[in-house]
Chains A and B, each alone.
Chain A
C-alpha cells in the first residue's frame, strides 16, 4: 500500500516550474562564465581574473572622496604555471558547483511536482546541492589563493590586497541543507515504517 501523496496546487506547480527554469538558466550561466574564464586564461597576453581589495585610505585617495575599502576584479596576465593550474581548477570547480546545484534543484522540483516530499531522491537531490555548495567553497578558496599569488606579481608598493569571498554564508547554507537532508531521511523512514500500519 502506498501513502497517497498530496498533489501540489496550481500556484505551487507554477513556483516549482519557475524554480526549475531558474536552475537551467543557472547551469547555462555557470558553464558560459566558467568556459569564458578558462579560455581567457589561455589567450596570449591574457590571464586570470583575480579578486582584490583596495584599503579605505587608498580608495579615498583614488576616488577623491571618503569611502570604505573598495573590492573589485582585474585581469593579471603572465601568471606562473602553478597559479594558472590552480586558477583553472577554481574555474572548473565553480562550473561543476553550478551544474550540481542546478541539477539538484531540477531533481528536487521534479519530485516536489510529483508530490513526493519524503522520497529518497529528494535527499539525494539535497546531497547534490550540498556537494555543489561545498565545491563552490573550494572554488572560492582556490580563487583566493590565485589572487594572492597573482598580486605578488604587482610592484611591491601596490596598495592592492588579495581578497576572497566570505565563506561563512556558504558554510551556513551548507549546514542548513544538511539539516534539511537529515529531516527528509527521517521523514522517509517514518513514512516507510507507517505504510500499511492500521
Chain B
C-alpha cells in the first residue's frame, strides 16, 4: 500500500502545461472532456489515483495529443540512486 502511494507520486500529469500551451482554460477543458472541474484539478495537481479510458480519450481529443504526452513518469528512487 505504501509502495503504491509512493509510486503514484512519481507520475506527473502534464494536463495543465498542455492546456496552457493551447490556450485552453481548465473550465473549458473540463467541459470538452465531460468531467467536473474538480476532477480535472485533481488530475492536474497529481492527486488522482486512477483515470478512466473515457477521460483519457477525451483529454487526447481536446488537447490534440497522444496518451503518452499527458504523463511523465519519474524514475524509481532505487534506479535513480543506481544511475
Interface membership of B51, Cβ < 8 A: yes
Q: Are A197 and B51 in contact (CB under 8 A)?
A: yes
Interface membership of A198, Cβ < 8 A: yes
What 1/0 mask marks residues of chain A from 1 to 38 whose CB sits below 8 Å from any chain B CB?
10000000000000000000000000000000000000
Interface membership of B43, Cβ < 8 A: yes
- Interface size for B (C-beta < 8 A) is 12
Interface membership of B49, Cβ < 8 A: yes
Give bound CA distance, A196 to B40, whole Å.
11
Interface membership of A195, Cβ < 8 A: yes
- Interface size for A (C-beta < 8 A) is 5
Give bound CA distance, A1 to B49, whole Å.
8
A193 to chain B, nearest CB (A): 8
Interface membership of B39, Cβ < 8 A: yes
Q: Are A197 and B52 in contact (CB under 8 A)?
A: yes
Give bound CA distance, A77 to B6, whole Å.
68
Interface membership of B42, Cβ < 8 A: yes
Q: Are A197 and B50 in contact (CB under 8 A)?
A: yes
Q: Determine the chain A residues whose CB is within 8 A of the CB of B39 once the complex forms.
A: 198
What 1/0 mask marks residues of chain B from 52 to 67 whose CB sits below 8 Å from any chain A CB?
1001000000000000
A4 to chain B, nearest CB (A): 10
B77 to chain A, nearest CB (A): 21
Please provide the chain A residues from 174 to 198 with a CB less than 8 Å away from any CB of chain B in the complex: 195-198
Q: Determine the chain A residues whose CB is within 8 A of the CB of B35 once the complex forms.
A: 198
Q: Determine the chain A residues whose CB is within 8 A of the CB of B48 once the complex forms.
A: 1, 196-198
- 6 extra interface residue pairs, beta carbon distance < 8 Å, beyond A198-B51, A198-B52: A1-B42, A1-B48, A196-B42, A196-B47, A198-B39, A198-B40
Return 24 A-B CB contacts under 8 Å, by A number. A1-B42, A1-B47, A1-B48, A1-B49, A195-B49, A196-B42, A196-B47, A196-B48, A196-B49, A196-B50, A197-B48, A197-B49, A197-B50, A197-B51, A197-B52, A198-B35, A198-B39, A198-B40, A198-B42, A198-B43, A198-B48, A198-B51, A198-B52, A198-B55
Closest 10 CB pairs of A and B: A196-B49, A198-B39, A197-B50, A1-B47, A198-B48, A198-B43, A196-B48, A198-B51, A198-B42, A198-B55
